[in-house]
Chains A and B, each alone.
Chain A
């Protein structure tokens, strides 16, 4: 009996313990989990979709105010965060790859790197929010506008831009926090050696979720940050 055989039975055992009682086999369980995650992501799209609709409506009605409001955001921090998140998507994809190919060490490393990148994003976001607070740009708490005022812009609409900014990025950050919790869970079980080439569905599903949250940001960044980048007055 070769070592490979022993490894296989081991893995099969793993697979067997991971199979929940109401599924017939691992394949069915995996497909169900994946489909479930996709359906969940569709509900997320609908959820954010309501906000995007409001954004489109008010931006169409108050284009100048939205550009003005946008010029008050910190494009550099936003851009840095975009890079951070895109990198984290890459490292997440690599973590999934190493889960599939069965390298426990690399899997853990890339999950940890993803976690660190996600945390970096949130820290930068925190600095940004603090900056907004300092500049009196937080509606409800202390909103005042002394920034650019192109023709057609009005303070209430600029204030509305900041509301939309805070609600959208706040909900996004909330999803990031959940993502970090989920990564922590994956790291723990990866460290315990739970994920094998036969059974690594949780890593794949976590990856789907993580990419989704990234993609939301990819839409948020240009819509919120880049509108007013070349306003001159």
Chain B
């Protein structure tokens, strides 16, 4: 019997002499595979019925990727229409459906679940040293709920779609639109429960399942931002749920609650919608901020400057984020005094975001920086998020907003944050943890190249839109005045570069799952607990419950770190990838 047929106990592998056989060489892995969460069970059932948070993360990864591609297809159609001033590629009502469906898919089915449900699911238990989330079954349920909601929405799309804009403003959505508002709304209603359950699971897990010694202020900052995100999910999502329910009732049964003809008030809808949807923009960007904190620390090899400020700024954003929804309603009939307060608080909410930006920059200062792909994305995030945030301040200023609202300036503002910020963070995080997730390395050269392409393409797509909006080009029309054409051609050209740039990681990620080099447990190397277990981790995450005796981001000489081993006598065994002295 050769070594390859002998089943190898993952917790008790016989380690080869690392000098004879490099730990990250393919032969090593073939000779000494460990049982991990991916190869522990086979078959479609073992995935669809899994309660392992890591597998559920992969289920989410696959599904949000599909939705990202679908949303991207709508974006391509939008940009094609806007290449020329007249509405020639599609009709007005088709165009309305395009931008609506683009928005609904990207926001509710991609950005909101992306980082929390993919990276959060994978990392929260690993980072705090737990075996799983507190409620594994609820975690799986949340994925099924997400899929159920997605199916409803897809059904609406196939039946002819929806044209209200992702904001569902009444009375258009309740009395005038002839499209599938209720079905699409129901899809979002259902998906909302998936995000509630995910948030609930994270909150309980972070409170109750931290490993011994993992105090609150030793938590990685990703956990803090995930916690803040979960608070928003849990407090905000039920409100959008009841709002959508009322829209459906209004549309189906004319209950009058949003209908002035029956004594209702359409502005109430806007209040309820933005009470959720402003905080929801932070659901999208806060997790990315957490990812960036991790990456910046690791690739400048320094503790985050002002750890506790960064941690608390996440909470501050979550709390203040609930108090600024009125800044979307400056030009509704909202009282001007309310607008003044909302304007003031919107300026205030920029402070914690700025704290983060300053602290990341200070972390870079005199750090030992390396420009690997995750770091490129993180640096991209910092710059683009800053632009998005600063233009947010333009919009929070009452007089300015009257001029800019409903123009392409808004579109540019939120794309700088949601694509330049949230998406960059997600991509950075995927690259950063890819070796941990799959046990394989992605091709670094291609990674850097595509990160740069994406950065260039992104700016070319959206910067011209600031100018177009500032000059008065309104959003949500399929035709526009001649003088905006140059800017729009630039934007469409940029979008093709951006799309091309995003295809590259799509391809090499798939490629690397089969052909990539094997990853060591701690390839960067970084300090978090997730790096102290094997890559990919075993189903139970750690061979034994880790005991944390170090502070967050305590960068020490690499040799000192070791994978948390099963038994004391094994703890000094050679660890793949860490025996590089």
Nearest residue (CB) in B for A48 is B242
Q: Among the interface residues B130, B246, B256, B263, which one has the most CB atoms of the partner chain A within 10 A?
A: B263
Residue A192 CB within 8 A of the other chain? no
Q: Kindly report which residue of chain B lies nearest to residue A163, judged by CB atoms.
A: B255
Report the bound CA distance from A151 to B237 in whole Å: 39
Which chain B residues numbered 234 to 263 have a C-beta less than 8 Å away from chain A?
Answer: 234-239, 241-243, 246, 249, 253-257, 261-263
| B89 located at the interface, meaning its Cβ lies under 8 Å from any Cβ of chain A in the complex | no
Q: Distance in Å from the Cβ of A69 to the closest Cβ of chain B?
A: 12
> B265 contacts A42, CB within 8 Å?
no
B263 x A156 contact (CB < 8 A): yes
Contact of A31 with B208 at beta-carbon distance under 8 Å, contacts A22-B132, A40-B200 already known: yes
Cβ-closest chain A residue relative to B541: A22
Which residues of B, 127-149, contact A by the 8 Å Cβ criterion? Answer: 130-136
The interface residues of chain B lying within 8 Å CB-to-CB of A218 are: none
Give B263 Cβ to nearest chain A Cβ, in Å.
Answer: 4
Bitwise, B192-230 to A at CB < 8 A (1) or not (0) is 000010001101110111000000000000000000000
Complex CA–CA separation, A31 to B136 (angstroms): 16
Taking CB atoms, residues of chain A closer than 8 Å to B400 are none
Q: Is A229 an interface residue (CB 8 A)?
A: no
Would you call B242 and A50 a contact (CB within 8 A)? yes
Stretch of A53-61, A89-97, A99-107, A183-191 with 4 or more beta carbons under 8 angstroms from chain B: A53-61
Q: Given A35-B204, A42-B234, A57 and B209 touching (CB < 8 A)?
A: no
Measured between C-beta atoms, what is the minimum distance from A168 to chain B in Å? 11
Is the CB–CB distance between B263 and A47 below 8 Å?
Answer: no
User: Are B263 and A43 touching (Cβ within 8 A)?
Assistant: no
Q: Kindly list chain A residues whose C-beta atoms are within 8 Å of the C-beta of B134.
A: 22, 32, 36
Say yes or no: B207 contacts A35, CB within 8 Å: yes
Q: How many residues of chain A have a CB within 8 Å of chain B?
A: 38
Give B125's nearest chain A residue, CB to CB.
A22
Q: Are A36 and B204 in contact (CB under 8 A)?
A: yes
B257 surroundings in chain A (CB, below 8 A): 54, 58, 160, 163-164
A155 to B209, CA, bound (A): 55
B253 to chain A, nearest CB (A): 4
- Shortest CB distance B132–A (Å): 4
Closest B residue, CB atoms, query A57:
B268
B36 CB contacts on chain A under 8 angstroms: none
Complex contacts, B135 vs chain A, CB 8 Å: 32, 36
Question: Which chain A residue lies CB-closest to B242?
Answer: A50
Check A49 for interface membership: any CB of B closer than 8 A.
yes
Query: A43 touches which one: B201, B234, B249, B262 (CB < 8 A)?
Result: B234
The complex places the Cα of A31 from the Cα of B209 at a distance, in Å, of 10
Q: Mark out the residues of chain B between 100 and 119 whose CB falls within 8 Å of any chain A CB in the assembled complex.
A: none
Chain A neighbourhood of B504, CB < 8 A? none
Cβ of A53: which chain B residues have Cβ within 8 Å of it? Answer: 268, 272
**Residues of B contacting A43 in the complex (Cβ-Cβ under 8 angstroms):** 196, 200, 234-235, 237-238
Q: Are B263 and A22 in contact (CB under 8 A)?
A: no
Q: Is A51 an interface residue (CB 8 A)?
A: yes
- Nearest CB to that of A162 among chain B residues? B255
Taking the closest CB of chain A, its distance from the CB of B365, in whole angstroms, is 39
- A155-167 vs B, CB cutoff 8 Å, 1 = contact: the mask equals 0110110011001
Q: Does B566 contact A (CB under 8 A)?
A: no
Per the bound structure, the CA–CA distance linking A60 and B265 in Å amounts to 13
Q: A46-B235, A157-B263 are in contact. Are A22 and B136 (CB under 8 A)?
A: yes
For A50, the chain B residues whose CB sits under 8 A away are: 238-239, 242-243, 246, 272
Instruction: Please tell me which one of the listed residues A28, A51, A57, A159 contacts residue B256 in the complex, with CB atoms under 8 A apart.
Output: A159
Q: Given A43-B234, A62-B263 in contact, is the A54-B246 Cβ separation under 8 Å? A: yes
What are 13 contact pairs spanning A and B, CB under 8 A?
A24-B545, A31-B208, A32-B209, A36-B204, A43-B196, A43-B200, A43-B237, A57-B268, A61-B265, A160-B255, A163-B249, A163-B256, A167-B249
List of 3 A-B pairs having minimum Cβ-Cβ separation, nearest first? A50-B242, A47-B238, A22-B132
